[in-house]
Amino acid sequence: MQRIETSDHIALGLEALCVLDHRLAAVRAAAGEVPLRLSEPGFASLASILVSQQVSRASADAIYGRLTTLLDPLTPQAVLEAHESVFRTAGLSRPKQRGLLAAAQAVAEGLDLHGLCLLDAGEAHGRLTAIPGVGTWTADCYLLFAAGHPDIFPARDVALQTAVGHALAIDPRPGEKALLGLAESWRPWRGVAARLFWAYYRELRGREAAPSA
């Protein structure tokens, strides 16, 4: 299936989703622009997503901005050679420091983050989550935004849970397992569905929630 690489692919996916689930036509109308959010594969993209774990989009952008100012360019070698004070100054928590260092070490030892984008999503996901500190959400987001995989849905994302719950009148909002069940009906366009509901959340709450890409 076509990877999500252009705005035309987003439009094609949205049309298909509205056929698969007629409820999504109203969600699409309310969501406004659904951005592509495609990033260059590589360490910087993975690092950005690691920084975004469990914080608001605004906080993640601020932390990542400080980190890339302190380590310019942001490469695995620069991370491995950096003093711990660099990460503290950037605002990285201890778990995120460990995850970033583990990712840098994995790349230094031969993990090809560009090559991962050419693999089947399941295999690529497994290689990513083998890195300490890279969980399901982080791997999902990397495959969505750096690899352009069309059928990834980060059901652990609280903003997606909130958006789907509000849009489809589900109270309380669906948790990860329930949301994965709902998203089954959106195959093979779950990657576009995730972007749609992040855009809906933006309009609902007045702020971006999707990780930076």
| Cis peptide bond prior to 76, omega within 30° of 0 | no
pLDDT of residue 211: 87
Q: Give me the domains of the chain, ranges plus CATH numbers.
A: 7-37+152-205 (1.10.1670.40), 43-145 (1.10.340.30)
Compute the distance between CA of residue 60 and CA of residue 73 in angstroms, rounded to an integer. 18
pTM: 0.94
pLDDT in tens, 34-90: 999 999 999 999 999 999 999 999 999 999 999 999 999 999 999 999 999 999 999
Residue 141 in 3-state DSSP?
helix
N-terminal to C-terminal alpha carbon distance within the chain: 22
174-178, long-range: CB < 8 A, 24+ apart: none
Per-residue confidence band for 212, with pLDDT thresholds at 50, 70 and 90: confident
Segment 149-176 shows an average pLDDT of 97
What is the three-state SS of 162-183? HHHHHHCCCCCCCCHHHHHHHH
pLDDT of residue 195: 98
Residues 38, 145: Cα–Cα separation, whole Å: 5
- Confidence category of residue 1, pLDDT binned at 50, 70, 90: low
Query: Which ranges in the chain belong to alpha helices (H)?
Result: 7-20, 24-31, 43-52, 57-70, 76-81, 84-90, 94-108, 113-116, 121-129, 136-145, 158-167, 176-183, 190-205
pLDDT of residue 136: 97
Q: Report whether pLDDT(175) > 90.
A: yes
